[in-house]
Copies of this chain bind each other. A is one copy, B any other.
Amino acid sequence: MIETAPVKLSFKQQQLQFRENAILDAVNRLLAQKGFDLMTMDEVAADVGIAKASLYKHFQSKEQLAAASMTRLLESALTLAHGLPEHHAPLDKLKAVVRWAVTEHLGGTMPLLPSTRSSTQQALLAYQPYIDRLSSLTEQLGEWIEQAQADRSLSASLPGEVILYTIYARSCDPVADFLQMGGAFSNQDIVDLVIHTTFEGMTGQT
């Protein structure tokens, strides 16, 4: 077998990747804390410990920076989804995804879902890498939703889109923030409560 193109990155490339990851870490945290509009490039630069101008050597604009952060987040979600045991029930897989998202949210690393009418939303939809990941995740979730409706663990009369959008929306549910602020529940409790109300509702006897 012949060695083809080198798989290993050069030291320069590794260092660049490391720096960009550090930037995205800061962006992720700031997006979760204050959202896109209130996050400033000065803040990001200060948080990473570099000059603002250096940021623009890595990312063309604030929008692209946020898009890259969101893309990395979707990639984490995809990794989690693909790593779930194949033999688990589809409903349990869906719950596992929401559980992961809410946990990330409580940990302060879940960027705020861009408002439907925000200008950020348009920038995201014009960023192909983001769209690709979102499509992949939507396809995977849609598959599980169909399976769960077929085996009657999810309501078959509910339109699939409603279930899909609800799952996405609950990943940024402000209810989790309110409960965390209250201080009466542990993060584990909050996750369980959100999962329960999302899937079983509030009218059950449970």
Residues of chain A whose beta carbon lies under 8 Å from any beta carbon of chain B? 33-35, 37-38, 91, 112-113, 115-119, 152-155, 157-159, 161-163, 165-166, 168-169, 173-175, 177-179, 181-182, 184-185, 193, 196-206
Inside 8 A of A182's CB, which chain B residues have their CB?
161
Inside 8 A of A119's CB, which chain B residues have their CB?
38
How long is the Cα–Cα vector from A37 to B181 in the complex, in angstroms? 23
Inside 8 A of A163's CB, which chain B residues have their CB?
202
How long is the Cα–Cα vector from A166 to B200 in the complex, in angstroms? 13
Cβ 8 A contact of A202, one of B33, B37, B158: B158
Cβ 8 A contact of A206, one of B91, B157, B174: B157
Q: Interface on chain A toward B: helix, strand, loop, or mixed SS?
A: helix
Q: Would you give the shortest CB distance from A174 to chain B, in whole angstroms?
A: 5
Inside 8 A of A35's CB, which chain B residues have their CB?
37, 115, 117-118
How long is the Cα–Cα vector from A23 to B157 in the complex, in angstroms? 44
Q: Which interface residue of A117, A168, A193 has the most chain B CB atoms within 10 A? A: A117
Q: Is the CB of B204 within 8 A of A117?
A: no
Contacts A113-B174, A174-B116; is A204 near B206 (CB within 8 Å)?
Answer: no
Chain B residue with Cβ nearest A158 = B202
Q: Would you give the shortest CB distance from A196 to chain B, in whole angstroms?
A: 8
